[in-house]
Amino acid sequence: MDESTLTRRRLLELAGIGLGASALAACTAGIEPAVTSPAGPLTVRTSSGSFVSAYRQGVTSHWALAAPELPAGGARPQLPVAVFLHGLGGSHRVLLDGLAAHEALQRHVDAGGTPFAVAAVDGGNTWWHARADGSDTQSMLVKEFVPYLGGEGYDLGRIGLFGLSMGGFGSLLLASQGRLPGVRAVAAMSPAVWDNYDSRIEGAFDDPADFAANDVFALRPRLAAVPKRIDCGTGDDLAATVRAYRAGLPGAVEGGFQPGGHDDGYWRAILPDVFSFLGRNLA
């Protein structure tokens, strides 16, 4: 793997978009071998890097990105970007290793779908919201990672959110809370959602007040104008609650319930349809 470090000039540019000095000092990027298709007009390439997040108590957060490489020369339009939120026990690596999203994205653009980038960052097991221990991975996304993507030339007026399990919950929560005005669509795969507080929910909430502040069931009316897709396997233990959550959403909801469980095999199977949904809404 060939690696390169962001130039001093690029780091200075990033200083104006919200990353702290410690994060900038640790920010690195690398280029992976291309995923190629002889018939495809664009080639998807991947990159990776890391930064120290002010919202994760100094923890180094790694990220991964896959994007079609636009032809050189002439006007180069900004690509929209879909931000992926991983599940419990996962990391940024789920995007490319577990889901093989770069391969699915190559097939998407080869088939004539709207080109866009996909990006993921480590969120730990924080359930993508502010926690009593002082971590706040939702703010890391909003104030550090997404601005970084904007500084790299991606269109922050056309943002998609998608995630699985804990990250499906996080995607729905962030879209509902409206902290990213450029969100054009949200897709949740097997989202871990609950309609009431239970202290046994694997550390998802600190206490009943934390649950109430991040209750995606109560926040459903705020998704009325947001294009949304929600999928879940019929063999998933979360299916009943996901069905109840979908039933109370305002407006149209794409996706549905397909044979499958709570695993990479199911998520890889539905990812092409998720990318088609995102592409249509990020066009």
pLDDT tens profile 3-24: 333 322 332 233 333 344 334 3
Q: Give first-to-last CA distance, the chain, whole Å.
A: 32
Q: What is the pLDDT of residue 75?
A: 61
Q: What is the pLDDT of residue 200?
A: 74
C-alpha torsion sign, points 208, 178, 163, 142: negative
- Please give the single-letter amino acid code of residue 40: G
Please give the residue that has the higher pLDDT: either 117 or 39: 117
Residue 30's pLDDT band, with cuts at 50, 70 and 90, is: low
Query: How far apart (Å, rounded) are the C-alpha atoms in residues 81 and 183?
Result: 10
35 contact partners, CB below 8 Å, separation of at least 6: 43, 44, 45, 46, 66, 102, 103, 106
Note the pLDDT tens digit of each residue in 84-127.
Answer: 999 999 999 999 999 999 999 999 999 999 999 999 999 999 99
Q: What is the pLDDT of residue 201?
A: 83
Supply 146's token pair. Answer: 């997404």
Q: Is 267 helix (H, G, I), strand (E, B) or coil?
A: helix
Q: Are 84 and 118 in contact (CB under 8 A)?
A: yes
Task: Please provide residue 163's backbone torsions phi and psi, each rounded to the nearest 5 degrees.
Answer: -165, 170
Note the pLDDT tens digit of each residue in 45-79.
Answer: 999 999 999 999 889 999 999 999 987 765 667 99
| Percent over 70 (pLDDT), the chain | 84
Residue 41's pLDDT band, with cuts at 50, 70 and 90, is: confident
Q: What is the pLDDT of residue 74?
A: 58
Domains in the chain (CATH in brackets) are 2-282 (3.40.50.1820)
Query: How far apart (Å, rounded) are the C-alpha atoms in residues 52 and 20?
Result: 8
Query: How far apart (Å, rounded) are the C-alpha atoms in residues 1 and 119?
Result: 19
How many whole angstroms from its chain centre is CA 97? 15
Residue 34's pLDDT band, with cuts at 50, 70 and 90, is: very low
Query: How far apart (Å, rounded) are the C-alpha atoms in residues 24 and 12?
Result: 9
Residue 27's pLDDT band, with cuts at 50, 70 and 90, is: very low
Q: Are 86 and 163 in contact (CB under 8 A)?
A: yes
Please give the residue that has the higher pLDDT: either 151 or 24: 151
Q: Number of C-alpha atoms within 13 angstroms, CB side, residue 181? A: 1
Q: Which range among 56-60, 138-142, 264-268 shows the weakest confidence by mean pLDDT?
A: 56-60
Query: How far apart (Å, rounded) are the C-alpha atoms in residues 265 and 267?
Result: 6
Q: Tell whether the model's pLDDT for residue 155 goes beyond 50.
A: yes
Residue 274's pLDDT band, with cuts at 50, 70 and 90, is: very high
Residue 198's pLDDT band, with cuts at 50, 70 and 90, is: confident
